Structure 1
Amino acid sequence: MFLAIDTSAGTSVAVVEGELVLSERSTEDTMRHAEVIGDMISGALDDAGVPASGIDAVVAGMGPGPFTGLRVGIAAARAFAWGIGVPVIPVVSHDAVALEEWAAGTRGDLLVVTDARRREVYWSSYGLDDRMPARTDGPGLCKPDELPYPEFLRVDATQVSAGDLGRAARMHLDLGIPEEFTEALYLRSPDVTMPGARKRVSQ
């Protein structure tokens, strides 16, 4: 049984058992991750009728995503996992979007795109065959008019489903696919930086 958390685009929390999503709570609000994440975790567990002790692992969406929002979800996933003594499974957030398309019957080459703000977008490319969706390039960051693979089917996602994130984690484990990205995928410097040393004032 997995608890899955993603804050790369809005906030989504789900309880997943195998291929079955037992509960999911989501919002597309990209400004209140920290305010809603605790209640959404509690609510998703209550909706599924699953106690914290019933969770075997916590799936964390690693992005790509904006710095502030993304780190809230990853921190929440790590704190919850530490609290109940279970591992964290990192998954690229775009993998959830690709899995949703694959499960709906889409096949061929796919480009997943999400908003990166600052007039930029995040992207990942996938090959969707009958076996599974496989990431072939990315994640990357660019201007909208610089997106690669213009011939691919493009999906612009405004929300990443934690339910699909948990299902992607289960598929990766079942197929023995290691997750190469174990740290947050900000893909650029944070919006807020530490100030440098104060300049000496000349007398």
Structure 2
Amino acid sequence: MLLAIDTSAGSSVAVVDGDLVLAENSTEDTMRHAEVIGDMIRQTLDDARVEPRQLDLVVAGMGPGPFTGLRVGIAAARAFALGIGRPVVPAVSHDAVAFDEWSAGVRGAVLVVTDARRREVYWSSYDLTDAGAVRSDGPALCRPDELPYPDFERIDATQIGAGALGRVVRLQRERGEQPEFTEPLYLRSPDVTMPGARKRVTR
């Protein structure tokens, strides 16, 4: 049994047991990640009637996503996992969207697109076959008019479901697959940077 957390596009928390999502709470609000994530974790565990000690691991959505929102979910996942003595498994957030499409019966090449703000988008391409959803390219960042693969079916996602993300990780672990990305997928530098060395004033 696992707890999945994603804040790459809004916020979502889910408890997943095997292929079953026991409980999930989500919001598309992209401005209040830090204010809602703690209550969402508590509420989701209550809804699932699961105690933290019953969990085997915690899944953290690694993006792609904007810096501020994404790091809230990752920090929450790491802190919660540390508190209960369980491992954290990183996962690509777009994989959850592709998995949802695959589960709904979609087959073929699809392009998952999410808002990156600053008039840019994140994208990942997938091949959806009867065997599953396989990422073929990305995640990457570009302007909307620069999106590749114009012939692929485009999926614009405003929410990443933690339930789907948890199910993706369960399948990957069953297949013996290791996480491809272990660091947050910001794909651009943060707005705030450390100041450089002071310039020496000469007279």
- What SS does the corresponding residue of 1:99 show, helix, strand or coil? helix
Residue in structure 1 matched with residue 170 of structure 2 by the alignment: 170
Give identity over the alignment, percent.
Answer: 73
Residue in structure 2 matched with residue 131 of structure 1 by the alignment: 131
Residue in structure 2 matched with residue 72 of structure 1 by the alignment: 72
2:161 corresponds to 1:161: yes
- What SS does the corresponding residue of 1:189 show, helix, strand or coil? coil
- Could you tell me which runs of 5 or more consecutive residues in structure 1 were left unpaired when the two chains were aligned: none
Residue in structure 2 matched with residue 107 of structure 1 by the alignment: 107
- What SS does the corresponding residue of 2:121 show, helix, strand or coil? strand
2:149 corresponds to 1:149: yes
Deviations 1:153-184 (A, max 9, x none): 00000000000000110111112222210110
- What SS does the corresponding residue of 1:24 show, helix, strand or coil? strand
Q: Which amino acid aligns with 2:14?
A: A
Q: Which amino acid aligns with 2:111?
A: L
Tell me the CA shift for residue 92 of structure 1. 0.1
Partners of 1:95 and 1:154 in 2: how far apart? 14
Tell me the CA shift for residue 192 of structure 1. 1.5
2:83 corresponds to 1:86: no
Partners of 1:59 and 1:96 in 2: how far apart? 12
Tell me the CA shift for residue 194 of structure 1. 1.9
- Could you tell me which runs of 5 or more consecutive residues in structure 2 were left unpaired when the two chains were aligned: none
- What SS does the corresponding residue of 1:68 show, helix, strand or coil? helix
87-96 vs 174-183, which deviates more?
174-183
Partners of 2:200 and 2:46 in 1: how far apart? 57
Instruction: Indicate the RMSD between aligned Cα atoms, in angstroms.
Output: 1.1
167-176 vs 42-51, which deviates more?
167-176
TM-score, normalised with respect to structure 1: 0.97
186-195 vs 56-65, which deviates more?
186-195
Tell me the CA shift for residue 138 of structure 1. 0.4
TM-score, normalised with respect to structure 2: 0.97
Q: Give the aligned length.
A: 203
Residue in structure 2 matched with residue 190 of structure 1 by the alignment: 190
